[in-house]
Amino acid sequence: MASLLQRIPMPKLVDELLQGSRRALARVLSLVENEVPEGHEILAALFPHTGKAWVIGVTGAPGTGKSSLVNALAKVYRQRGKKVGIIAVDPTSPFSGGAILGDRIRMTDLQGDSGVFIRSMATRGSLGGLSRTSRDAVRVMDAAGFEIIILETVGAGQSEVDVVRAADTTLVIEAPGLGDDVQAIKAGILEIADILVVNKSDKAGADQTVRGLRAMLELGHPAAREQFVAHHGRMMTVQAPSQVVGDVWLPPVLKVAATQHEGIEALADKIEEHRAHLAKSGTGESLEARYLEMEILERLQTAILERLRNTIPPTKLEETIRKIQSRELNPQSAVNVLLEEFS
């Protein structure tokens, strides 16, 4: 590490960040987000200081009130004396500047607090880029001493599932009255939930949403399915708000009303319960290992592609594509030929 850092005046920025400078943190986050080489060097220097934060992923369809919930949860953790970092990769989030002015004003009560740092990440650019930079941003905030990091994404696709891989505890937010179309989407993200939160519980239909989610959990969640079949020999209804069967955490369904600050303390408690469960069962460590393996393989892939792009002459690539367009060559054979010649 030292050899890398001697070349450039990075140590100052790194030191300032480690000592809690918000200005240094903001600058490092920009370097990381833009994926410049200095960002990579700083990340390498910061990495030994990471691994202390608890990362809470918050995802859900638009209209579920994710941002109000993030706001309320951040306040609870502040009251508990924790420094809170917020990373918003949701284009509809007021944190990321995507929502209407009224929402943004509601959020300003967090912004005067030096124990809170809010950062929005652009959703432009490639998907891989976004999950990579949000993961790196988490590490930067972690090194900067933020004990709770909330990573907010809009839950409607594979991209969000990828982003949430950086989280230790993932909350999937639902709300009553969003309609069947939106409900149908959530089957996919249900599997990534550690805790299911029904927000806007003061609205009509909240109990119905809770029941619907419990039914979906029973049918849909792989842990629920496997564990219940294993233990009971058949499917049954998930009755209790939270259950741990063996080493498996079955996602509880919690009702909250974020704008009224109702149920948020209980939600924070449940997150801590999940954290304790992961530590006790060792699941957290093996999950981290699995995500790290995915990260390493992705990074390898990117590095190799970069090399290939520098090795294969552009004219060769153009010629290959022309041959595919004229149907002389098919894509798979073309790849085999390029691999033979250049690796």
36 binds a second copy (CB under 8 A): no
Which residues fall within 8 angstroms of residue 219, CB to CB, at 6 or more apart? Answer: 225, 235
Q: Which of 21, 123, 243, 259 binds a second copy (CB under 8 A)?
A: 123
157 binds a second copy (CB under 8 A): yes
CB of 98 to a second copy, least distance (A): 5
Q: Which of 105, 292, 319, 341 binds a second copy (CB under 8 A)?
A: 292
Distance of alpha carbon 152 from alpha carbon 65, whole angstroms: 11
Structure tokens given for 3: 């050899």
DSSP-H helix ranges across 233-282: 264-281
Distance of alpha carbon 109 from alpha carbon 33, whole angstroms: 26
325 binds a second copy (CB under 8 A): yes
Q: What is the CA radius of gyration of the chain?
A: 22
Q: By rule CB under 8 A, what string of x and - marks binding of each residue 246-285 to a second copy? A: ---------------------------------------x
Report the C-alpha dihedral over residues 125, 128, 129, 131, rounded to 10 degrees.
Answer: 120
How many residues touch a second copy (CB under 8 A)? 68
Q: Which of 6, 81, 100, 204 binds a second copy (CB under 8 A)?
A: 100
Q: Which of 29, 31, 43, 253 binds a second copy (CB under 8 A)?
A: 43
With contacts defined by CB under 8 A, name the span among 71-79, 156-164, 196-204, 215-223 that binds a second copy: 156-164
Q: Give, in order, the Cα–Cα distances in Å from 300 to each of 11, 40, 202, 305.
A: 27, 15, 48, 9
Q: Which of 34, 36, 335, 341 binds a second copy (CB under 8 A)?
A: 335
Which residues fall within 8 angstroms of residue 339, CB to CB, at 6 or more apart? Answer: none
Q: Which of 288, 313, 319, 341 binds a second copy (CB under 8 A)?
A: 288
Distance of CA 219 to the CA centre of its chain: 25
181 binds a second copy (CB under 8 A): yes
341 binds a second copy (CB under 8 A): no
Q: Give, in order, the Cα–Cα distances in Å from 80 to each of 52, 109, 204.
A: 17, 17, 32
Q: Which of 5, 16, 63, 273 binds a second copy (CB under 8 A)?
A: 63
223 binds a second copy (CB under 8 A): no
Which residues fall within 8 angstroms of residue 114, CB to CB, at 6 or more apart? Answer: 22
What single-letter amino acid sits at 38? E
Would you tell me which residues interact with a second copy (CB under 8 A)? 40, 43-44, 47-48, 50-51, 62-63, 91-92, 98-100, 123-124, 126-127, 130, 154, 156-160, 162, 179-182, 184-185, 187-188, 285, 288-289, 292-293, 295-297, 299-301, 303-305, 308-309, 317-318, 320-322, 324-325, 327, 330-336, 338-339, 343
